[in-house]
Amino acid sequence: MTVEQIVSETKDQFPIGMRVLAVDDDPTCLLLLETLLRRCQYHVTTTSQAITALKMLRENKNKFDLVISDVHMPDMDGFKLLELVGLEMDLPVIMLSANGDTKLVMKGITHGACDYLLKPVRIEELKNIWQHVVRRKKFDRKVRSNSDSQDKPHADSGEAAGIGKADNNVKINKKRKDQNEDEDEDLDENGHDNDDPSAQKKPRVVWSVELHRKFVAAVNQLGIEKAVPKKILELMNVEKLTRENVASHLQKFRLYLKRISCVANQQANMAAAVGTADSSYLRMGSLNGLGNFHALSGTDQLHNAAFRSFPPSGVLGRLNTPAGLGIRGLPSPGTIQLGHVQNSGHSSNDQSKLQSFIPGNHNTNILQGMPMSLDLDQLQNNKGVSHIGELPAANSTAVFPVSGSLIDSRIAGFSNNPLLGVTSNSLMLEGSSQQANLHASNLRDGVSAVGFQNGNTLSNFASIDPVSSQLRDSKADLQGQAAPINCNAGPMIRSVPPQEWNAPRKDAPYQSHLMSSSVNSSIPVNGAMVQLDQCLDRNNSIFHRTMDSDSIGPLNFVDPLSIKHGEGLNSAAMEPPVIEKEGYLMYQLRPHGNHIPDNIGSLEDLASAMMK
């Protein structure tokens, strides 16, 4: 079948009627562009503001097929918009500029643009832009087909490296029968494909929070350097997820981590300030983060909303702070670290830490106390532990931020640990959201909340049952807010380009988006947990446990489990989850071969880095 045939199956008239969103602050150019596009028989929507464009896109992901945007805009950098759209909505974006410098074009490519056009635009060029939509669709379809792709041997080690979408497109050589897209059943905003390939409108893998968590866990387990799509796919063990999906996602994730790593430094400082809450801290963070995640996953909107709400909460606020935001995608590196921290190194401590860790309550306090200790680099439990004690009282938010920071630092530490970045964010996010909700319930709840991140997940928290219920409630709150976080930290990371795409929101909003998009409305905690389990395995038994309880799966970073621990779950149950989380987190943070010594180590390092 040719592309045209495939396309026509889904949309007879395509490319006629293709829905384009045009963004350009120059009214002359915008009018010209609009007219040209109309002449090509596309359906055009225009706006002169990037923020408005984002809003429109977020309202309904299925409303547009393609975005064309100018590079120089007053309210938001075109590249930032590009990244955000790519991460959140996974739509093809074409950049437009009067400046054709190679550097700029390269920048466009690295940020994920499918094409770069020079002004004044010619109609001949616009007549062909539909190819980008088709290419993506085709790819998605294939990618989503099923997991058979895993069997396909290919040199993916290199591909993930930076090929990104383009690569994926290229890989779509084989036409697989289209099957339902990835397993994110809950996330269905995009109208995932159904069984009938030809009926697929927009085959796109939606990286729900849970899925993302699995992804992060897998990457952590493999180590960021050795994480190749094929192995990740195997580890994730998700049906109908293809290697291309993973490869594309991995690429984004890596970009994200890189971005975060810059920010992480800032975080590190923050983390340092926080103090020792290293592992426990991380745990908390993670838990919180996770919690948020779930909340985030709820729905995009939810996420967004949740996300936004984050900032207000203590944690979020933290997150938004440079340290927190540093990670860009990572809501609170510190938080992530928490989770990790625990795993690394102090397994034994972890538990204790976790418990004490749950400081989360204090928004800032926690962070302060904790991050410092968290010191990712050293992440050695001690720090975290000490803090944890303090934290408990504090609002979870505090904890989270720290985590974030920790994570940030961590991230800084290993720039190449994309996961870290991600995790922290997730953690952070969760933390933030959770904090808002959790604080009251206390970390414990938070922890549990983390467990059930999406709100639903809490229930999953088997280990933390008692806590989880509490968390659940809090989680619910968080969800609204945090939701974004859970969503796949990965995407977040990406989206969280250092550029501060969303000035106002900073990471939070971004993350939320990420999360929301990735996280299906309810990420079954258990599911996530399970994954974590697999991944974390190494950390310790507890770790596993937490995994189970926490479906936080996708959220690598935020291991709700860890948070649980941190929270000072007084109950043993708490511990395990935490540990798991840590392990989970650890994965994320731990890039293979990176400084992250162990699951926890990485977190700790991250935390410490962040704190510093």
Partner 1 sequence: MERNPLRRQLQIMRKSLFDQGYLDEQFVQLEELQDDSNPNFVEEVVTLYYRDSARLILNIEQALERKPYNFHKLDAYMHQFKGSSSSIGAKKVKAESTLFREYCKSGNGEGCMRCFQQLKKEYATLRKKLEAYFQVARQAGPMETACRPK
Binding to partner 1 by residue 222, rule CB under 8 A? no
Which amino acid appears at position 363 of this protein?
N
Q: How far is the CB of 38 from partner 1 (least distance, A)?
A: 8
Q: Which stretch binds partner 1 (CB under 8 A): 35-43, 241-249, 507-515, 546-554?
A: 35-43
Integer angstrom CA distances of residue 290 from 60, 225, 398, 477: 25, 25, 15, 13
Binding to partner 1 by residue 98, rule CB under 8 A? yes
User: Token match 């190449």: residue?
Assistant: 416
Binding to partner 1 by residue 99, rule CB under 8 A? yes
Q: Which stretch binds partner 1 (CB under 8 A): 92-100, 191-199, 225-233, 315-323?
A: 92-100
CA separation for the pair 548, 531 (Å, rounded) = 8
Q: How far is the CB of 81 from partner 1 (least distance, A)?
A: 17
> What would you report as the CA-atom Rg of the chain, rounded to the nearest whole angstrom?
21
User: Token match 């859970």: residue?
Assistant: 486
Integer angstrom CA distances of residue 201 from 63, 178, 284: 12, 11, 41
Q: How far is the CB of 55 from partner 1 (least distance, A)?
A: 24
Beta carbon nearer to partner 1, 1 or 98: 98
Starting at the earlier edge strand, list the strands of the sheet with 43-47: 43-47, 19-23, 66-70, 93-97, 115-118
Binding to partner 1 by residue 27, rule CB under 8 A? yes
Binding to partner 1 by residue 127, rule CB under 8 A? no
Q: How far is the CB of 119 from partner 1 (least distance, A)?
A: 5
Binding to partner 1 by residue 463, rule CB under 8 A? no
Binding to partner 1 by residue 125, rule CB under 8 A? no
- Select the residue interacting with partner 1 from 119, 201, 226, 538 (CB under 8 A): 119
Beta carbon nearer to partner 1, 24 or 182: 24
**C-beta separation of 144 from 204 below 8 A:** yes
- Select the residue interacting with partner 1 from 6, 23, 36, 323 (CB under 8 A): 36
Q: Which stretch binds partner 1 (CB under 8 A): 20-28, 192-200, 414-422, 595-603?
A: 20-28
Binding to partner 1 by residue 26, rule CB under 8 A? yes
Beta carbon nearer to partner 1, 121 or 260: 121
Angle of CA points 449, 453, 456, to nearest 5°: 95
Number of amino acids touching partner 1 (CB under 8 A): 17
- Select the residue interacting with partner 1 from 97, 242, 380, 426 (CB under 8 A): 97
Phi, psi of 67 (to 5 degrees): -125, 135
Binding to partner 1 by residue 31, rule CB under 8 A? yes
Q: How far is the CB of 123 from partner 1 (least distance, A)?
A: 7
435: nearest Cα among 553, 328, 292, 271: 292
Q: Between residue 535 and residue 554, which ones bind partner 1 under the rule CB under 8 A? A: none
Binding to partner 1 by residue 16, rule CB under 8 A? no
580: nearest Cα among 611, 610, 536: 536
Q: Which stretch binds partner 1 (CB under 8 A): 29-37, 76-84, 319-327, 541-549?
A: 29-37
DSSP3 helix / strand / coil % (the chain, rounded to 5) = 65, 5, 30
- Select the residue interacting with partner 1 from 18, 20, 29, 471 (CB under 8 A): 29
Binding to partner 1 by residue 104, rule CB under 8 A? no
Binding to partner 1 by residue 51, rule CB under 8 A? no
Q: Which stretch binds partner 1 (CB under 8 A): 22-30, 266-274, 396-404, 512-520?
A: 22-30
Q: How far is the CB of 98 from partner 1 (least distance, A)?
A: 4
CA separation for the pair 541, 547 (Å, rounded) = 10
Strand pairing report for 66-70 and 19-23: parallel
Q: Which residues of 16-29 are buried (b: 16+ CB within 10 A; e: fewer)?
A: eebebbbbbbbeeb
- Select the residue interacting with partner 1 from 11, 72, 154, 201 (CB under 8 A): 72
Q: How far is the CB of 501 from partner 1 (least distance, A)?
A: 20
Q: Which stretch binds partner 1 (CB under 8 A): 114-122, 169-177, 212-220, 348-356?
A: 114-122
Q: Which stretch binds partner 1 (CB under 8 A): 116-124, 296-304, 342-350, 566-574?
A: 116-124
CA separation for the pair 329, 333 (Å, rounded) = 9
Binding to partner 1 by residue 28, rule CB under 8 A? yes
For residue 120, is the peptide bond before it cis, meaning its omega torsion is within 30 degrees of 0? yes
**Binding-residue pattern over the window 280 to 319 for partner 1, x denoting contact by CB under 8 A:** ----------------------------------------
Which amino acid appears at position 179 of this protein?
Q
Binding to partner 1 by residue 120, rule CB under 8 A? yes
- Select the residue interacting with partner 1 from 1, 3, 39, 158 (CB under 8 A): 39
Task: Report the SS3 class of residue 118.
Answer: strand
- Select the residue interacting with partner 1 from 1, 17, 122, 195 (CB under 8 A): 122
The enclosing H or E element of 328 equals: none
User: Token match 């289209």: residue?
Assistant: 178
DSSP letter (8 states) at residue 18: -
**392: Cβ–Cβ under 8 A, 6 or more apart, which residues?**
356, 357, 358, 359, 360, 361, 442, 443, 567, 568
CA separation for the pair 456, 479 (Å, rounded) = 10
Q: Where on the chain is the footprint of partner 1 (CB under 8 A)?
A: 26-29, 31-32, 35-36, 39, 72, 97-99, 119-120, 122-123
